[in-house]
Amino acid sequence: DAKTTQPPSMDCAEGRAANLPCNHSTISGNEYVYWYRQIHSQGPQYIIHGLKNNETNEMASLIITEDRKSSTLILPHATLRDTAVYYCIVRVMDTGFQKLVFGTGTRLLVSP
């Protein structure tokens, strides 16, 4: 069964880049990687997703290794408001159905 592995917590200084890793060594070639974050007591918020190529949007960059076994979410200039739990998610096909498999999340603490 597909699985994602993330470090439980990370710290980052305000203004510095936050690099959040995720291991998804079991995904297949057509399974997407998504990143969402959840700020306490709110629903998860979409950040970015990708398949093979690196992706960038106004919030973050996603770097996927060539073998697709891992990826890194980069917040280029972290702010205090980026403190949240970040989830790496893979969309997989299982017994004919699509489903999302969530990692356990990385709690990012951005400090002044």
Partner 1 sequence: KAGVTQTPRYLIKTRGQQVTLSCSPISGHRSVSWYQQTPGQGLQFLFEYFSETQRNKGNFPGRFSGRQFSNSRSEMNVSTLELGDSALYLCASSSRGGLSGELFFGEGSRLTVL
Compare residues 3 and 68 and give the one whose CB is closer to partner 1: 3
Of 16-24, 38-46, 65-73, 74-82: span binding partner 1 (CB under 8 A): 38-46
Sign of CA dihedral 96, 99, 75, 108: negative
Q: Do 101 and 92 touch, CB atoms closer than 8 A? A: yes
- Which residue spans within 28-105 are E strands per DSSP? 33-38, 45-50, 55-56, 61-64, 70-75, 84-94, 97-102
Residue 20 sits in the site that holds partner 1 (CB under 8 A): no
Residue 46 sits in the site that holds partner 1 (CB under 8 A): yes
Instruction: Give the residue, chosen from 3, 104, 107, 109, that forms a contact with partner 1 under the rule CB under 8 A.
Output: 104
Instruction: Give the residue, chosen from 5, 45, 54, 79, that forms a contact with partner 1 under the rule CB under 8 A.
Output: 45
Instruction: Give the residue, chosen from 27, 33, 84, 105, that forms a contact with partner 1 under the rule CB under 8 A.
Output: 105
> To which residue do tokens 């070639």 refer?
29
Compare residues 20 and 87 and give the one whose CB is closer to partner 1: 87
Q: Which two tokens stand for residue 105?
A: 């999340």
